[in-house]
Amino acid sequence: MSILVFGSINMDLVVQTPRLPQPGETVTGYNFLSVAGGKGANQAVAAARLGAKTDIVGRVGGDAFAEELLEELKGNRVGCKGVLRDNTTHSGLATIAVDNHGENQIIIIPGANGSVGHEDVQRLQPLWEEATSLLLQLEIPLKAVEAAIHAAHNAGVRVILDPAPAPDVFPQQLYPLVDIITPNETEASQLVGFPVNNVETAQKAADTLLSFGVKTAVIKLGSKGVFWATKSESFLVPAFAVNAVDTVAAGDAFNGGMAAALDEGRSLKEAILWGAATGALSTTQVGAQSSLPDRQALDNVLMPPMSTLTIN
C-alpha cells in the first residue's frame, strides 16, 4: 500500500534570530540556511522516513532550486514521477524567521505551487489503486484541492486535510468528503468562527467540525497536546516533553506520522499518537525536512507506549 501527497514543494530560506521583529522593526539574526520544505513535500518526507511507501504530485519551477528540491525528495525515497517541472515560473519559496524559543514567522511565495491545477489532479489517477490515504494542504490553489478531494473520495481513498494556511472561506460542501481534518489552533479558529486556545474550546471546535460532516476532527494544540474526536469518542493526547528549537514543519510531521501509522493498519488512536510523537521530535532540530525523524527515533519515543486521557 502507499500514501499519496498532493501539495506544495518549496525551498525554505531560514533566518535564526534572538526574537521575532515587531511591525516596522529591524532585528539582527545570527544564522541562515536554505532547506527543502513546502507543506506537501514535508508531509511526504515525514511519512517516507517512517517507512511508508510515499508518492508526491505537485510542481517545481524552472530554476536552480528545482533540482535540489527533487533530489531531496528522492533521497528520502519519495516517488516523484508525479512532479511537473514548470519552466514558466520559479519554484515555491518560503522565508522563515525563527526565534530562540522555536517560534516562527513565515511568508510564502507560491511560484510553481500557484499553478497547480486540473492537469496535476489527473496525474493522481494511476496512483489510486494502491493508495491508503491522500494528504492535502492549502499551499496550492483551493480549486485543485477541491478536485483532488472529489477524486480521492470517488476512488475510495482516505482524505486527510491539513487546512493550512487557513483559508478565509472553506467550501462547506467539502467537509463531508474529508475523513480526517487536522487544523492547529489558529486554523481551527478560522474554520469554526470562534477562538480555539485550550482543550475546552478545542472540544467545541471538534464538535463543530463533526457537525459540518468530517469523520474525524484533530485539533493540534502545540504544548497543550492534541485533541481529537469522532462521533463516538474523543481523547486528548498530551504533548511530548522535548526541547523545542524550531516549530517549522511540526504540523506536517504530525500528518505524515499519522498517515504512516494508518497505512500500516494501526488504529486511529495509535496513529494520532504517532503523529504527536513525530511532530514533537521535528521541533528538536532546525529546518523543515531536515528536522523530520526516522523510524528508529520514533520507536525510541514510543517505547513504552504513552497513554491518552479520555475527555468526557
Annotated binding residues for K(+): 246, 248, 282, 285, 287, 291
User: In one letter, which amino acid is 84?
Assistant: L
> CA 96, CA 102: separation in Å to the nearest integer?
11
- DSSP states along the chain: -EEEEES--EEEEEEE-SSPPPTT-----SEEEEEEE-HHHHHHHHHHHTT--EEEEEEEESSHHHHHHHHHHHHTTEEEEEEEEETTSPPEEEEEEE-TTS-EEEEEE-GGGGG--HHHHHTTGGGGGGEEEEEE-SSS-HHHHHHHHHHHHHHTPEEEE---SPPS---GGGGGG-SEE--BHHHHHHHHTS---SHHHHHHHHHHHHHHT-SEEEEE-GGG-EEEE-SS-EEEEPPP----S--TTHHHHHHHHHHHHHHTT--HHHHHHHHHHHHHHHTTSSSSGGG---HHHHHHHHSSPPP-EE--
Binding residues for ATP: 184, 220-225, 251-252
> Annotated catalytic sites, by residue?
252
Binding residues: 10-12, 38-42, 139, 184, 220-225, 246, 248, 251-252, 282, 285, 287, 291
Assess contact for 3 and 133: CB atoms under 8 A. yes
Q: How far does Cα 5 stand from its chain's mean position?
A: 10
Binding residues for substrate: 10-12, 38-42, 139, 252
